[in-house]
A and B are shown apart, each in its own frame.
Chain A
Amino acid sequence: EAQVTQNPRYLITVTGKKLTVTCSQNMNHEYMSWYRQDPGLGLRQIYYSMNVEVTDKGDVPEGYKVSRKEKRNFPLILESPSPNQTSLYFCASSPGGSLPDTQYFGPGTRLTVL
């Protein structure tokens, strides 16, 4: 089944404790992206990647890191989480090419930082 998977689905942590949220897709998509969703703010893009070893900042990159060493994986790293990073996070992937295309979303990761 074609899908985007995220782990963990739920995470409660404390301020300053480094964490990684994994994202993997099995559709051989070139493009991958991370979003955070907050009530009343919609989805805001954190980072995106056009292909392996190619990443760029979205609208709200502060406090986050990403890497794209393999085509299928795009982990999101919070090196020193803070309470304002409590949010619902979505990973998405898209086929790639010269035109924007449908993005396929993972199920989400609900993160709480105490």
Chain B
Amino acid sequence: AQSVTQLGSHVSVSEGALVLLRCNYSSSVPPYLFWYVQYPNQGLQLLLKYTSAATLVKGINGFEAEFKKSETSFHLTKPSAHMSDAAEYFCAVSVGGSNYKLTFGKGTLLTVNP
């Protein structure tokens, strides 16, 4: 079984401040982890993914995430928030193998204040 917990349904930061969105996973086998972003009234698009290569993963728009097996975490960070980063962010886990079942977290809404 696999599951994802995103801590904080709503995170608010000031423009220029550090963005930290938390994701913890549960998986009985090595997982594949993803962060997706959803801008208002749009579908989801991939920010970055971890597929067992480097533990520090860089994505689009200056975001990065670090896979920490000992903490079962895959937190998303960005050093300096922009107004355009305001969106909902979803962490997702898959264990691969014979199917692609993808389990999403409940999402974190990021607000960026001027």
Q: List the interface of chain A (C-beta within 8 A of B).
A: 4, 31, 33, 35, 40-45, 48, 50, 56, 58-59, 90, 92, 94, 98-103, 105-108
Contact = CB atoms under 8 A, between A and B. Distances in A.
Chain B interface size range: 20 to 34
Nearest to A4: B43
Contacts of A31: 100
A100 B30 CA distance: 12
A97 to B, nearest CB: 9
Contacts of B9: 40
Contacts, number: 58
Contacts of A43: 44, 90, 104
A105 B34 CA distance: 14
A40 B90 CA distance: 12
A102 B51 contact: no
Nearest to A100: B94
Nearest to B48: A102
Given A105-B44, A106-B43, A98 B96 contact: yes
A42 B43 contact: no
B101 A102 contact: no
A102 B100 contact: no
Interface in B89-106: 90, 94, 96, 99-106
Contacts of A105: 36, 43-45
Contact of B49 (A41, A48, A102): A102
Contacts of B32: 99-100
A99 B96 CA distance: 6
A99 B51 CA distance: 8
A107 B43 contact: yes
Contacts of B49: 102
A50 to B, nearest CB: 6
24 contacts: A4-B43, A31-B100, A33-B100, A33-B102, A42-B104, A43-B104, A45-B103, A48-B100, A50-B99, A56-B99, A90-B43, A92-B44, A94-B100, A99-B51, A99-B96, A100-B94, A100-B100, A102-B49, A103-B102, A105-B43, A105-B45, A107-B42, A108-B42, A108-B43
Contacts of A99: 32, 51, 96
